[in-house]
Amino acid sequence: MPVPDLPLRLAVVEPAAVLPTGGYEYSPKLDGWRCVAHVPGGVLQSRTGSDLTDRFPGVLESAAALGRVVFDGELCAYRQGRLEFAALGYGPARRRAEGIAVVYVAFDLLGARGRDLRLWPLSRRRERLAAVVGAGNAGVQLMLSTLDRTQGQAWISAEQAAVGIEGTVAKPLASRYPLRGGRAGWVKVRHYDDVDALVLGVTGSPTRPTALVLGQTDRRGRVRAVGLSAPLSRTALGSLSGRLRLAKGGPQRASGVLAGLPGAEDFTFWPVEPGVAVEARADRAFELGRYRHRVSVVRAKPDQ
């Protein structure tokens, strides 16, 4: 088979609570942009199919130096040794001025030498990937990996999250890359911190909310909206029963940015009277005054 055609639908990495055991490869989950480097097509393709080539000049050239390859990997921005997700949104001139380096970290080889490798098992693709990338170059590096679950578990920590390693991805060694995208049996386990937040509003029915608009106090003592929670569990709903009172003024619209990654749709919520706080679990992806991923509410805190 020839190398995969563009656009490519990517394998899905699904969330999990714990790392699986037996016959898996483990690698760090880097805080970057998922991206295909398609040298024969001359394109850097984002997870959603967008063309990123002009935004990251030099990355495709670095990949081309390794052959007519098709990589799946992560575009990462580094500032003084730490990953900085927000810097991927800067233009090339600003990144140069601020000393930010962009590196493509390849974790899979989908095509090489005119062949489609997606039906090879992951273990064989990984072996070929390591041979192709080798020591890498200034623009392309090989993703770390291990067969040792203990090492994989070590990447799920507050210390690793502080430098931009969000957790660990586990992939079955026998897994083949789905030709039409979708599930490949890959899972990710993130590091989460326990945080407190204030309930600013609810989505769904005011009497039975589906999610919460959450707020936190900034450095100036002002309460700011920081995100929309994930769908509420029965435990969280039960702890909120009878605690929330709607504020005056009716429903409001909020930017989809509060609901997750940029590009999320705007949504409607019902403001509530201040005073109810919740315990929640959030990852370290916090920038521009908001959580990039939706926060999981554990339960309402007792009245102070």
Active centre residues (catalytic): 29
Give 82's DSSP letter: E
- Our measurement of the distance from residue 287's CA atom to the centroid of its chain's CA atoms, rounded to an integer in Å, reads 13
Give the residue carrying structure tokens 């930010």.
100
Positions of E strands within the chain: 11-15, 24-30, 33-38, 43-46, 70-79, 82-83, 101-112, 115-116, 140-142, 165-172, 182-190, 193-205, 208-217, 223-228, 252-254, 267-271, 277-282, 286-287, 290-291, 296-300
Token pair of 138, please? 């200034």
- Our measurement of the distance from residue 66's CA atom to the centroid of its chain's CA atoms, rounded to an integer in Å, reads 27
Give 49's DSSP letter: S
